[in-house]
Amino acid sequence: MRRIAITNQKGGSGKTTTVVNLAATLGERQRRVLVIDLDPQCSATSWFGIKNPDKGIFRAFVENGNVLEIISQTNVPNVEVVPASPWLVGADKALAGEVGAETILRRQLQSLPHGRWDYLMIDCPPALGILTINALVAVTEVLVPVEAHVLALEGLAQLLQTIEVVKERLNPELKICGILACRVDGRTRHAQEVVEHLRSRFGNLVYKTVIRENVRLAECPSFGKPITQYDLRSYGAQDYRALAAEVIRQERGR
């Protein structure tokens, strides 16, 4: 099972959009996906149509609940979700001073049955706090969505530095599986220059696929559907299907 954290501390980067729609397009290709929502805003949870998740994943962090008992079915083929709840806002305070707090999620995931899922994808909060560190310790790969805007590049450097620190101190297996340019407006020179800069700076780490700015992608969360169910012929659906194909090709090197 590939374990991938989708993270960027900058809001508006396309993080949750990528989690939900990449999971859906992987599911289309018969990959079984477990999504863990670690964001207190619960965007992925509500996008998947999960109502009243109680305390969700917060139970696993603070009340010693078993993550297996929190998994919910979705209406998206081959996709299940461990929901978030607003209780996660208090996670940093609740875990302050607890020995080994940064490894709680990794220990929880050891109870997952081997072979049940092909992918574990974690939607991280837009902050580099204890929840994001837990995600980086629990996975082996990081996918970084980056908005095609020059200001987004500044936050990327800080995130990459954090990933290196976690790799050195807590998780030597951790590596970046890809950087994804999101919200790319092909009509503007600025967006094209940002994508070109990413490619020149990070080379093959940048996915060939870019996620174009697309109104249908912006609309589909309101309907509780991934883009594959909301508008299967839209640019958004095309782009995330291309990303899924690219992610699957990476399996050959593992």
What is the per-residue pLDDT for 158?
A: 84
Residues in CB range of 134: below 8 A, 6 or more apart:
38, 61, 101, 102, 103, 104, 105, 106
Of 95, 102, 67, 91, the closest CA to residue 81 belongs to 67
Count Cβ atoms below 10 Å from residue 254 Cβ, excluding itself. 8
Tokens of 137: 């310790």
Read off the amino acid at residue 78: N
The values of phi and psi at residue 62, to 5°, are: -115, -30
Q: What b/e readout covers 199-224, taking b as 16+ CB neighbours within 10 angstroms? A: beebeeebbebbbbbbeebeebbeeb
Residue 66 three-state SS: coil
pLDDT at 254: 61
Under 8 Å between Cβ of 159 and 180: no
Distances from the Cα of 238 to the Cα of 55, 71, 143, 209, 234, angstroms: 35, 29, 19, 10, 6
- pLDDT value at position 253? 64
Q: β-pairing, 72-73 with 175-182?
A: unpaired
Return phi, psi of residue 180, to 5°: -115, 120
Does the pTM surpass 0.75? The reply is yes
Span 210-252, pLDDT tens digits: 999 999 999 999 999 999 999 999 999 999 999 999 999 998 7
**Which ranges of the chain have pLDDT less than 70?**
253-254
C-alpha distances in angstroms, 146 versus 31, 153, 226? Answer: 25, 8, 20
Intra-chain end-to-end CA distance of the chain, in Å: 11
Sort 147 into a burial class: Cβ within 10 Å, 0-12 / 13-18 / 19+. buried
Helix (H) or strand (E) holding 144: strand 141-147
* Gap between the Cα atoms of 2 and 251, Å rounded: 9
CATH 3.40.50.300 fits 2-253, yes or no: yes
Sign of CA dihedral 168, 174, 175, 176: negative
